[in-house]
Structure 1
Amino acid sequence: MNLSYWELDSYFTNVDYTIIGSGIVGLSTAYHLHLKHPNAKIIVLEKGTLPEGASTKNAGFACFGSVSEIIDYLKFHPQNDIYQLIERRYLGLKKLRSLISDQAMNYQQNGGYELFRQQDEKLMTQSFEQLDEINEFLEPIFGAKPFQVSSKDFGFKGIIGAIETPFEGQIHTGKMMRKWVELVTSVGIPIVNRTEVKELNEMNSGIEISITSGLTFKTHKAFLCTNAFTKNLVDLDVVPARAQVLITKPIANLSLKGCFHMDQGFYYFRNIQDRILLGGARNLDFEGETTTEFATSDRIQKDLEKQLNEIICPNQTIEIEHRWSGIMGMGSQRNPIIKQISDHLYCGVRLTGTGVAIGSLVGEELANLLD
């Protein structure tokens, strides 16, 4: 690596805190560390040209979970854990909106809708039967009952029922991340892109970090904000989960607004002005989608097109403009891992597909571990 004395001195010498990963969690961690320790030398390392993972590749849902998802969570996790999860998502969105203005990230609270197809009749019946129970469970978080049966008709085909919430919103992910970058760099924290961390070596006085270029430098503390890619450096309960997405060309007279979920959240779509963004179908191939490869598969993309043409926009000719994928971090538990791993290493990972909602709060909680 052909670095000058100036570059080595300015970026890689006497580093107090090194953040690995420049997604929402990484930048939030860096910013909150600066607020707590304004004189500390902080640096953010990012292996991609832009944040790799999900922070700039997600669907832009400011959501906290549908009724059927929450019912499913409660089957496999303690009630208190799920309450904490939903509360963290709600408070995380408030934290995000306190740091980045609604206008700056094009936040719109158009509401959220869980749709039940004909093949989801059993799931719908269960969700309706437990609706009062879920509302009572979550009302202390929202200060109101978050869900109700919906009678709105969006012109979808084959939908036999729906549940709505006024608390769900949507954002422009790219604009949000640009504002995060502006916020972090405005307080003097550099983000070094195209720099992958290859190895971490714990020392008595800190951590030695080796990066792709062959450079090794020392930092007093390091913070892993690598989510799905965490196992490249540390063995934790985090596995990658690829989420595939498509977006249409502009659709004339598109009237739908809001965020929509089907099949316990495995399908999700929303409007972006006069376009539809649709993603999901990971449940068709869990094994194949447990990958860190940024790609799309014919099987899932064809299924997404089927949902688009047969349910969302029936009897219309819809053209696809773009397709992409993002990599989420999942695990055996739903709550994120926010902990100190060793004397000098900390982590905030396993966002389980809700980084927009909880990422800002996870970063703050991670920075607070230094107390």
Structure 2
Amino acid sequence: MSFSYWELKEWFSKVDFTVVGSGIVGLNCALQLRKKYPKAKILVLEKGILPQGASTKNAGFACFGSLSELIDDLKTHTEEEVFNLVKKRWEGLQLLRTTLGDKNIDFQQHKGFELFLTTELYESCLNKKEAINKLLKPLFSSDVFTVAPNEFNFKNIHQHYITNQFEGQIDTGKMAAKLLEKVQSSKIKIINNIQVENFFENNERVVVKTNEITFSTHKLFVATNGFANQLLKEDVQPARAQVLITKPIKNLHIKGTFHLDKGYYYFRNIDDRILFGGGRNLDLKREETTEFGQTSLIQNKLEEILKTTILPNNKVEIEHRWSGIMGVGNQKKAIVTQLSNNVFCGVRLGGMGVAIGSLVGKELAELVN
């Protein structure tokens, strides 16, 4: 592409801060930079038409970890590390709500419910429930996890749930739209359909090479999460999550966010529909991809569970399917670090982008002195 003098002058010259990725992390980073540097020229680069990855494709769970997930985490993390993970997620959710407002993201707190396919797993989690509640008590001042009967009449599961009274849900589209609106009103420039291919430091500047133009910036912030290994050498692997949504269901009685099979499956109500995703554990290696799309293996399993467990007595029609790309690694803690004098990154959100994205973006911007 040939850029005019005006385009080069207005968008690509004398750039102070460049953020790669216009998802939750990138936009919150840009907002925080604007607060710290009110006169700075800030540019956000996005390779998609809309925020690519997971920020506009997630299920909209305002969650911080199901009981079985936290128990699993304790196998590879200390109690202090697990507590700090939950603390970060909870603080991130509060920051998201404060930044955008509950009404603007359609935040609703209908609780979270963990469903169990086997009595063995239920009993195992039940035995550790009090210990986890005790661990989290300093943060929530009351028990997070309680037991509840199968009030929604799901089939082929244990007849009691583990309920999380603090879990909620948001409208992901409204959240992303409001965040974009807030960033644009802060005089931050967002350029879509532009992909960063490489970068290198040159004295006190960072040269950024894209598929359209090469320009320089004073500081560079990489916030590409699941796509991080295309630019960085950090411990981040892509993880595709496949999702489907039903057509509207008359008299839908299900309300809340639901976790099944250690959180590998998850579903919720939205606009009289059921949104249902997960199943990457059926083919973990194949789902370590940055390619969007669906597989018949996972989609068929989602439909099977939908019709035999979630809505066994309803005629259910699927209206739409999609996928998102998360960033995961050997540790659950997000990577927020300075890579060199002028390059920083905030990646590996571990499927908890809604919860920690705002906080990771804020912390990323705060790395600049």
Q: What TM-score comes out, normalization by structure 1 length?
A: 0.98
How far apart are residue 107 of structure 1 and its match?
Answer: 0.8
Tell me the equivalent position of 1:44.
44
Letter in 1 for 2:303: E
Q: Which residues in structure 2 correspond to 1:9-20 (within 5 Å)?
A: 9-20=9-20
Write the mapping of 1:234-245 to structure 2, written as runs, cut at 5 A: 234-245=232-243
- Distance between the aligned counterparts of 1:182 and 1:175, measured in 2? 10
| C-alpha separation in 1, matches of 2:23 and 2:303 | 29
Q: How many Å separate the matches in 2 of 1:237 and 1:103?
A: 36
Equivalent in the alignment of 1:308: 306
**2:344 aligns with one of 346, 354, 357:** 346
What is the letter of the counterpart of residue 162 of structure 1?
Y
- 1:79-94 equivalent positions in 2, closer than 5 A: 79-94=79-94
| Residue type of the alignment partner of 1:207 | V
Letter of the 2:332 counterpart: R
The DSSP-based 3-state class of the residue aligned with 1:76 is coil
Equivalent in the alignment of 2:191: 192
**3-state DSSP class of the match of 1:26?**
helix
Which residue does 1:207 correspond to in 2? 206
CA RMSD of aligned residues (A): 0.8
Q: Give the CA deviation at 1:34.
A: 0.5
Aligned residue identity for 2:296 = D
Query: Given residue 203 of structure 1, which amino acid in structure 2 is its aligned partner?
Result: N
Code of the residue aligned with 1:62 in structure 2: it is: A
* Aligned residue number for residue 121 of structure 1: 119
Paired residue type of 2:252: L
The amino acid across from 2:87 in the alignment is E
Aligned-pair distance for 1:159?
A: 2.0
Shift of 1:63: 0.4
* 1:62-120 deviations in Å (ceiling 9; x for gaps): 00010000000000112222111110100000000001111111111111000112xx2
2:7 is the alignment partner of 1:7: yes
CA drift at 1:206: 1.7
Is the partner of 2:121 in helix, strand or coil?
helix
Distance 1:71 1:237 in 2: 23
Q: Structure 1 residue 2: deviation in Å?
A: 2.2
- CA distance, structure 1, for counterparts of residue 150 and residue 141 of structure 2: 24
The whole-number CA distance in structure 1 between the counterparts of 2:315 and 2:181 is 40
For residues 63-212 of structure 1, the aligned pairs below 5 Å read 63-117=63-117, 120-160=118-158, 161-212=160-211
Which amino acid is 1:201 matched to? F
Question: Do the aligned residues in 1 keep the contact of 2:79 with 2:135 (CA within 8 Å)?
Answer: no
Aligned length in residues? 368
Shift in Å at residue 315 of structure 1? 2.5
Deviation at 1:23, TM superposition (A): 0.1
Match of 2:24 in 1: 24
Return 5+ residue gaps in structure 1 as ranges: none
Cross-structure match for 2:327: 329
* Runs of 4+ off more than 6 Å: none
- Cα shift at 1:152: 4.4
- Distance (Å, rounded) in 2 between the aligned partners of 1:11 and 1:138: 47
- Specify every segment of 5 or more residues in structure 2 that has no aligned partner in the other structure, as ranges: none
> Normalising to structure 2: TM-score of the pair?
0.98
Give the drift of 1:7: 1.1
Matched to 1:29, the amino acid is: C
**Structure 2 counterpart of 1:85, which letter?**
L
Which of residues 268, 271, 275 is equivalent to 1:270? 268
